[in-house]
């Protein structure tokens, strides 16, 4: 599931991002690669927590669960465009933190 071992003292910015672990798929069982969601403290230079996500598309459901494990009060939480969701912003605000959500523009030819 997830783990958390660090209590917020002055974390400043917490970056939430997902990564697919290379070579973590199992050809024999035809299982997909493991996709991890991580919360990184720029101020403390350490991982605050991580959680397995059921694929890249499910980061939206996993981010609030990971945030529930963390003391983010007073921090700035940033995510990429995948995490730019109203419910995620509400979760961050409810935990007395601020958010920085990245948006991507749509290119039209």
Residue-wise pLDDT tens digits, 47-67: 999 999 876 678 899 999 999
Q: Do residues 36 and 52 touch, judged by C-beta distance below 8 A?
A: yes
44 or 70, which is more confident: 70
Q: What is the CATH code for 11-20+32-101?
A: 3.30.420.10
Whole-number pLDDT of residue 68: 95
CA distances from 12 to 9, 32, 42, 58, 86 (A): 9, 35, 7, 27, 22
Domain boundaries, the chain: 11-20+32-101
Whole-number pLDDT of residue 1: 45
Does the pTM exceed 0.75? Answer: yes
Average pLDDT over every residue of 55-82: 89
């Amino acid at each position: 599931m997830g783990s958390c071992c660090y209590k917020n003292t002055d974390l400043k910015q917490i970056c939430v991002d997902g990564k697919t672990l290379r070579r973590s798929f199992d050809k024999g069982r035809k299982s997909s690669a493991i996709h991890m969601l991580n919360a990184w403290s720029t101020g403390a230079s350490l991982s605050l927590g991580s959680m397995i996500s059921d694929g890249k598309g499910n980061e939206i459901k996993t981010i609030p669960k990971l945030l529930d494990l963390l003391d983010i009060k007073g921090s700035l939480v940033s995510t990429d465009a995948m995490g730019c969701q109203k419910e995620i912003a509400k979760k961050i605000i409810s935990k007395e933190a601020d958010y920085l959500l990245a948006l991507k523009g749509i290119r039209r030819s």
